[in-house]
Amino acid sequence: MATPTYLFTNRVYPPVAGATGVLLKELAENLAGGGARVLVVTSRGPRDLNLPKRESINGVELIRVGSASFSRASLFRRALSYLWLYPQFAWHVWRMGAIDAAISMTDPPMQVAVMAVAAHWARRRIHWSQDVYPELAVELGVLRSRGLLAKVLRRVSTWALRLQDEVVVLGRDMRGRLVSRGVDASRIDVIANWSPIEAVAPDQAEAMRVRLGWTGKFIALYSGNLGLAHDFDTLVEAVRVLKDGAIQFVFAGEGPQLGSVREAMSPFSHVSFLPPQPRNDLGSFLAAADAHLVTVRAGLSGLVVPSKIYGILAVGRPVLYVGPEESEVAQLLRSSQAGVAVKNGDAAKLADSLLSLGGDAIKARTMGDRARHAAKDFTLDKAVTKWKEVLR
């Protein structure tokens, strides 16, 4: 049997930072370890010019092309960066010829369209959707919903998605979004992202608690990107309700909302901030908390799925989720009973849920055990098995 050849395209790939890059790396290396030839076309930013243009890492063949800076500070500069990058991606994809599968990953709609055309010779064209554009940009206020650009991008994106032999999405709500767009439901597969960390021994978690000064406190931790897609208004109100300090809130991460969240939380002594934690310490850091906060803004169900939920489940901690009740995370928590789903704006329920967990160690431990059990469905091995079925 001939060796299958799979080609991925994504803007980031380690050692360049990026959550999607880490997921891609783990999937690509696993497929390569199973005997496939795996190539990844990715970019080199201005700070990464020392990285070789071509190299093989753990069996994965990397092709790096130059790109301009992907600054989030300017939409115009970001658009120029993509316009510079897409033709380079397309050239490498086109010249590969009749490969077994070309897999594009989420970025704004033009990448999906360009890759769909460039991968014309591939036996299968697959899109791995981490977010849904341009709807996400509209909901976040980057594009006007009735504007010409949003309409054009939606049509281009839908056309490109219909060209795919398969579209892989992260949740049932995301699948529903694409079906409503006119993408054939039979071509959409739901494959959730997976936890990047393993279970953590209790002594490691306790050592981290001591190191952070969390001993004797009930810690509600928000760890990860403080991005535009996340609801912090509900968290701020819950902190205000719990002003007696029965719960200690910790925010660890960075992102465009960090400044405004810091300012809103400044009157409260039971709130603290930490920088993003090293990847090697992430497991014990997550396990050191008593409960975790996960949020998604109203209106974003099916446009994003906060994949950090899977790492929280893996360390066996309860999840307090604020977001649309029809979203994938809310459905998961209801079925697993590994946490509590709260509607956007319902700060009173969030505060009551935290107080309930903080005052009942058995309840918190039971939810944590359910979380650990639910995590067994979101492992790299299970995801790879599903991916192999799609690739075949």
Q: How far apart are the first and last CA of the chain?
A: 13
For range 73-89, the mean pLDDT: 68
pLDDT tier, 15 (very low <50, low <70, confident <90, very high otherwise): confident
Most confident of 14-23, 49-58, 235-244: 235-244
Alpha helix segments (H runs only) across 187-341: 202-212, 233-241, 258-265, 282-288, 308-314, 328-336
pLDDT tier, 46 (very low <50, low <70, confident <90, very high otherwise): low
pLDDT at 50: 82
pLDDT at 76: 56
Give dist(CA 86, CA 334) in Å, integer. Answer: 41
**8 Å CB contact between 178 and 194:** no
> Mean pLDDT for the chain?
90
pLDDT in tens, 154-184: 888 898 899 899 999 999 999 999 999 999 9
- Per-residue pLDDT at 282 exceeds 70: yes
Q: Where are the domains of the chain?
A: 5-190, 202-377
H helix or E strand, kind and range, residue 220: strand 219-223
Sign, CA dihedral 22-24-27-28, equals negative
pLDDT tier, 122 (very low <50, low <70, confident <90, very high otherwise): confident
pLDDT tier, 353 (very low <50, low <70, confident <90, very high otherwise): very high
φ/ψ of residue 196, rounded to 5: -80, 0
Give dist(CA 267, CA 263) in Å, integer. Answer: 8
pLDDT at 72: 52
- Per-residue pLDDT at 246 exceeds 60: yes
Domain pair 5-190 / 202-377, same fold: yes
Give dist(CA 118, CA 91) in Å, integer. Answer: 7
- Per-residue pLDDT at 213 exceeds 80: yes
pLDDT at 67: 65
Which of 63-72, 212-221, 299-308 is least confident? Answer: 63-72
Q: Mention every residue, 6+ apart, whose C-beta is less than 8 A from residue 180.
A: none
Give dist(CA 361, CA 342) in Å, integer. Answer: 21
The 3-state DSSP composition of the chain as helix, strand, coil percent (nearest 5) reads 45, 20, 35
* CATH H superfamily, domain 202-377: Glycogen Phosphorylase B; (3.40.50.2000)
Locate 324 and state its tokens.
């649309």
pLDDT at 60: 96
The alpha carbon of residue 30 and the mean position of all alpha carbons in its chain are separated, in whole angstroms, by 19
Q: What percent of the chain has pLDDT over 90?
A: 66
Give dist(CA 146, CA 228) in Å, integer. Answer: 21
Locate 240 and state its tokens.
């205000």
Give me the CATH code for the 5-190 domain, please. Answer: 3.40.50.2000
Letter for the amino acid at 51? L
pLDDT tier, 28 (very low <50, low <70, confident <90, very high otherwise): very high
pLDDT at 348: 97
Among candidates 88, 69, 87, which has minimal Cα distance to 79? 69
